[in-house]
Structure 1
Amino acid sequence: MSKKINWGILGPGKIAKKFALGLEHVENANLYAAASRSLEKARDFAEEMGADKAYGNYTEMLNDPEVDAIYIATPHVFHHEHTLLCLKHKKAVLCEKPFAMNKDQVKEMIDFAQKQDTFLMEAMWTHFLPHFKYTTEIIKSGKYGKVLSMEADFGFDAPFNAESRIYNKSLGGGSLLDIGIYPIFAALSFLGKPKKIEATAKMTKTDVDARCHATFIYPENVKAELYSSVDKTTQVSATVKLEKAEIYIKPRFHQPSSVVFTTENESFTREFGVESNGYNFEAEHVGQMLLEGRKESTEMTFAKSLELIEMLDSVREKIGLEY
């Protein structure tokens, strides 16, 4: 593989445009191709975002020997199928979150990637953002004592439409998998796996969750209160209280942001000077992994993705959400 990674995008929608914009800030990346079930849509995307090629068929793009890595940006319910298809063609895969619909699917994807000896990673872009890494490192260092509590939320108000991706059960609709994954991932990153999970939800006419409230309970009764909503706008912030400090990640905590750090003696805001939309950091990491010949991320590991989907499965079970 050359030093510049040729990326192909499978599913050129809204999130794919964000990823393509992020690639513009990655030195070792080239937006090479886009594939859709509609050639017209692929061509429109390629022209707008500057891709070299457009394909009206996923397999055609996967048969192109110039493609080094695939970014999968299709709806949740297709992640499993499309990841296996890409891995079958020995293409490195960065698959949008949630990795798949349940742990069984994620396990199958990981097992197949290992069998194919081909790189695979879940695209949890938040993990790679400077402010998020900074916060994680401070908490893990223990410098300011143990975590006492945590809160995180993500909500927006989307008009009800039974056919939309947000509310359509057949497309993996609902708040939990789409945006609830961010507060849950923050809890996993800052506190690890809980010993107990409690959850409640407000369901829609299409039997998906319009709102979800999960409580993660840790030893010594430390709790993380996690909220998501697709029918109510929330602040989209995160607060972690430690024994000797409080960390507040400003809205929107899951994308490039700043951190307010408060102790008994001082309070300051840490800025991180991110000029891109933030998607470049995960793409940069994947490029580095591929150039090093790795088949698994050293950061967004298979173990972490399995822990994340286990927690999502557990919350789904608590609120009675089945796909």
Structure 2
Amino acid sequence: MKEYRWASLGCGVIANELAMAMQKQGRTLYAVGNRTHEKAVEFANKYGITKVYDDIHEMFYDDEVDIIYISTPHNTHITYLLEALKNGKHVLCEKSITLNADELNLAVELAKQHNVVLAEAMTIYHMPLYKKLYDIVSSNSLGPLRFIQMNFGSYKEYDMTNRFFNRNLAGGSLLDIGVYALSFVRWFMSEKPDQIVSQVRFAPTGVDEQAGILLMNPKQEMATVSLSLHAKQPKRGMVAFDKGFIEIYEYPRAKKAVITYTEDNHQEIIEIGKTRDALSYEIIDMEKTISKESDEMHLDYTIDVMDIMTTIRNDWNMKYPEEE
């Protein structure tokens, strides 16, 4: 398989993980760009990256770049996505890939026009554990899916200037942590939910601090999602079928699941993959998809999840400045 040249747009936590994942594969990022040039230079020196852009927009026109990984704040994604795609770059973009469904639809159409791969960096779709569980569920050994229960809560100090609560940085629980829970739901549901109800508690800045969501699809598979940015909860996913249920903790980068079979309560432990290799799995799946070896990026699920989040925020009448 061709060795693709990656450029990182951003120098934050995820960009550092990306650079380290490349190093573990015996590779180095080709280039880096950042709004603060000094940080890009620092990042490049740290990881032995030879190319640093004085202006981040140069990245989109560099013929040597094959794939751009975008890890900037949510509300900047669409601008960078459109510029990258129209210049024929494959793009892997941090979640949430865009602010809303209209933005994502624009990017999807542009990717089709230029015959490039567009994907969201959603760890759930790439962890070996979820691929294994997908095979188990697809075998029908657990019977039909009935119910999914999701929790994701973290305790963030009430600092309304940080990105979690900052409306100008597209803060709020739904785009930051809800996207994980909903991606988990979509992974196991056989169809996209078409019935959605929710409740929300707003932070003083007007973003969603806490939310409860109830979903059901045409096959009457149901899910509940509980989110909070100011109350710690376990990152727990539970998927219930006729013949058993699956429990997964720390589910965004999970390596272990426990299946309990309801007939006799015996348990099966599935343990596969490594949490610390989450970015490596994304890199591998992205390159497989670009090379047409297999389609591993699940853009269809990303579109469904964005549709759900957009519907929910419309119900809340919650808009970011870019949407007004």
Paired position in structure 2 for 1:107: 105
CA shift for structure 1 position 291: 3.0
Among 93, 97, 104, the alignment partner of 2:91 is 93
Paired position in structure 1 for 2:3: 4
Report whether the alignment pairs 1:307 with 2:296: no
**Counterpart secondary structure, 1:194:** coil
TM-score (norm: length of structure 1): 0.92
Amino acid at match of 2:197: E
Q: Distance in 2 between matches of 1:111 and 1:206?
A: 33
Paired position in structure 1 for 2:246: 247
1:211-230 alignment to 2 at 5 Å?
A: 211-218=210-217, 222-230=221-229
Paired position in structure 1 for 2:194: 195
Amino acid at match of 1:313: T
Q: Cα 1:183–1:120, aligned 2, differ >3 Å: closer, same or farther?
A: same
Among 277, 302, 319, the alignment partner of 1:322 is 319
**Counterpart secondary structure, 1:160:** coil
Q: Distance in 2 between matches of 1:116 and 1:268?
A: 46
CA shift for structure 1 position 304: 2.4
Q: Distance in 2 between matches of 1:313 and 1:261?
A: 33
CA shift for structure 1 position 134: 1.9
- Give per-residue Cα distances to partners, 1:51-85, cap 9 Å, x unaligned: 22222321223333222110000111111100111
Q: Is the 8 A contact 2:94 2:122 kept in 1?
A: yes
Q: Distance in 2 between matches of 1:26 and 1:212?
A: 39
**Counterpart secondary structure, 1:287:** helix
Q: Distance in 1 between matches of 2:177 and 2:13?
A: 15
Paired position in structure 2 for 1:277: 277
Paired position in structure 2 for 1:290: 290
**Counterpart secondary structure, 1:30:** coil
Once the two structures are overlaid, the 10-residue window that deviates more, 140-149 or 298-307, is 298-307
- Give per-residue Cα distances to partners, 1:175-223, cap 9 Å, x unaligned: 0001101111111111131231111111011100111111112457542
Q: Is the 8 A contact 2:285 2:297 kept in 1?
A: no
- RMSD, aligned α-carbons: 2.0
Amino acid at match of 1:280: S
Q: Is the 8 A contact 2:7 2:30 kept in 1?
A: yes
Q: Distance in 2 between matches of 1:26 and 1:197?
A: 42
Q: Distance in 1 between matches of 2:154 and 2:16?
A: 20
Q: Distance in 2 between matches of 1:218 and 1:91?
A: 35
Once the two structures are overlaid, the 10-residue window that deviates more, 234-243 or 11-20, is 11-20
1:157-196 alignment to 2 at 5 Å?
A: 157-191=155-189, 192-196=191-195
**Counterpart secondary structure, 1:279:** helix
Once the two structures are overlaid, the 10-residue window that deviates more, 303-312 or 219-228, is 219-228
CA shift for structure 1 position 274: 1.8
Q: Distance in 1 between matches of 2:67 and 2:220?
A: 44
Q: Cα 1:50–1:199, aligned 2, differ >3 Å: closer, same or farther?
A: farther
- Give per-residue Cα distances to partners, 1:267-310, cap 9 Å, x unaligned: 13221142633111111111122334x8xx72334432221111
**Number of paired residues?**
317
CA shift for structure 1 position 96: 1.2
Q: Distance in 2 between matches of 1:21 and 1:126?
A: 19
Once the two structures are overlaid, the 10-residue window that deviates more, 150-159 or 52-61, is 52-61
1:69-148 alignment to 2 at 5 Å?
A: 69-148=67-146
Paired position in structure 2 for 1:46: 44
Q: Distance in 1 between matches of 2:116 and 2:133?
A: 31
Q: Cα 1:211–1:50, aligned 2, differ >3 Å: closer, same or farther?
A: farther
Q: Distance in 2 between matches of 1:261 and 1:26?
A: 32
Q: Cα 1:196–1:299, aligned 2, differ >3 Å: closer, same or farther?
A: same
CA shift for structure 1 position 12: 1.2
Q: Is the 8 A contact 2:288 2:295 kept in 1?
A: no
Q: Distance in 2 between matches of 1:78 and 1:187?
A: 26
Q: Distance in 2 between matches of 1:300 and 1:285?
A: 7
Unaligned runs of 5+ in 2: none
Amino acid at match of 2:19: A
Unaligned runs of 5+ in 1: none
Paired position in structure 1 for 2:149: 151
Q: Distance in 2 between matches of 1:180 and 1:168?
A: 16
